[in-house]
Amino acid sequence: MRSFSGVRRPASRLSASLALAALLLAAPALAEETYTVFAELDPPYATNRSALAKLLKQEGYEVHAEGTREVVLVLTAAQIRWLFNGKVIHRRVAKSSGPGMVDVPFLESATIPPRLAPYVPRVYFDPQRS
């Protein structure tokens, strides 16, 4: 940046660089991790899928069809806790493609709330499809 006299002001450039660095470091903390939750449907699948999608849309959730017998929800850990009283935990497991370990999320103690029970018998994570 130049002042009216045409002389560079390095302090302004330094403060702009520090502000940019602070924003970049804070960015991962602002975005909460999301998880793909699969919900198995009870028959009749088409009727239950549309009823479940309508119910969850009223609550602010988006439901995506996954085959004929499942739907998918993309939720944060807080939403999973609120909607299914479930907890997301990370476990270290061996890589299937080579040596080493990798952190994999698991859904623990999820329960189906009574308002969803007529449509959904269970919810789960599928690491192979997430």
Q: Is there a single domain that holds both residue 66 and residue 27?
A: no
Residue 34: both structure tokens together: 């999301």
| One domain, residues 58 and 44 | yes
Cα–Cα dist 43/100, whole Å: 41
Residue 130 lies in a domain: no
Q: Cis peptide leading into 44, omega within 30 of 0? A: yes
40 shares a domain with 1: no
Is residue 68, in this structure, part of any structural domain at all?
yes
Q: What tens digit of pLDDT does each residue of 40-69 get?
A: 999 999 999 999 999 999 999 999 999 999
What is the number of domains present in the chain? 2
Domain assignment of residue 4, given as a range: 1-31
Domain annotation covers residue 8: yes
CA distance 56 to 62: 7
Residue 129 lies in a domain: no
Do 70 and 57 lie in a common domain? yes
**Same domain? 20 vs 81:** no
Q: Is the pLDDT of residue 24 over 80?
A: no
pTM score, whole prediction: 0.73
More confident call, 34 vs 12: 34
